Structure 1
């Protein structure tokens, strides 16, 4: 499996994958969100790095978006995996594992202390892959709405 940083020519295939990611998590169809996120990963905005696993024709079949974050409790940096999605027809091919391994290598090269991500508790398929690469933590995630 080849993992690389996104290239401008990946836009169409990447957008299809990211729309699939959003649909999987029951987010509304939002071409603006897909387009904006593509711009961020393509240009490295907000510290995002867009990664893709590609097939033999160099077409993306899986994506991962990662970014560095500070870990004040340990005075280290971590690599956060915001999104990971594999095209349904490529599942079981090792594409997601290749992305996770690449993220671990990026973290190691950058002196990171952890690669961290969250997933839905009921996402058994993804969790079976994640469990082969990382340890689930006991932490509970909260989301708070900003005040207007």
Structure 2
């Protein structure tokens, strides 16, 4: 793919006709993080994205009409300020499209959605080793001092 600028990137909500392109990009995202291909996962997440009652929503970035990136996000409550934020679960740009501004355009659109919905912030995490993404994130957002933990359910 030839180099492009952010002005040539369009970002919109994922729609039903995006299944194949979304699937290819989502597989790329899972590959990046070493996750196995799993049709049940793809079907479940796609079902969430297509279900207006589910909290998970998706954005797709296109360059010259070609899908090159995706973002999955959801609303979350923020009791500390009696408000809500948007949580970006996944952000992925196809390797051939890195440097086109697609990732930044997805973040810009998400910030616009946050403003439209009265959210107090957009939050996400990334791997410490994801230097390429972190260069973008360091330009557009505030690196926080928070440390993330995962606690497994106990039976």
Instruction: Report the counterpart of residue 144 of structure 1 in structure 2.
Output: 151
Aligned match for 1:107, one of 104, 114, 123: 114
TM-score normalised per structure 1:
0.95
CA positional deviation for 1:138: 0.9
1:47 CA drift (Å):
0.7
Q: Which runs of 4+ in 1 moved over 6 A?
A: none
Contact 1:86 1:95 in 2 (8 A): yes
Q: Does 1:98 align with 2:105?
A: yes
Q: Which residue of 2 aligns with 1:133?
A: 140
CA separation in 1, counterparts of 2:124 and 2:25? 19
CA distance, structure 2, for counterparts of residue 91 and residue 38 of structure 1: 24
> Paired residues, what number?
147
Instruction: Say whether 1:24 aligns with 2:53.
Output: no
Q: State whether structure 2 residue 40 is matched by structure 1 residue 42.
A: no
User: C-alpha root-mean-square deviation of aligned residues, in Å?
Assistant: 1.1
Pairing 1:73–2:44 present:
no
Find 1:33's aligned residue among 35, 41, 44: 41
* Structure 1 stretches lacking a partner, 5+ long: none
Point out which structure has higher relative CO (alpha carbons under 8 A, 6+ apart). 2
TM-score of the two chains, using structure 2 as the length reference: 0.91
**SS of residue matched to 1:119:** coil
Question: Which is worse superposed, 26-35 or 77-86?
Answer: 26-35
Unaligned runs of 5+ in 2: 1-8
Q: Shift of residue 45 of structure 1?
A: 4.8
3-state DSSP class of the match of 1:99?
A: helix
Give me the whole-angstrom Cα distance separating, in 2, the residues matched to 1:113 and 1:82.
Answer: 17
Match for residue 17 of structure 2 among 9, 23, 34: 9
1:60 and 2:67 matched: yes
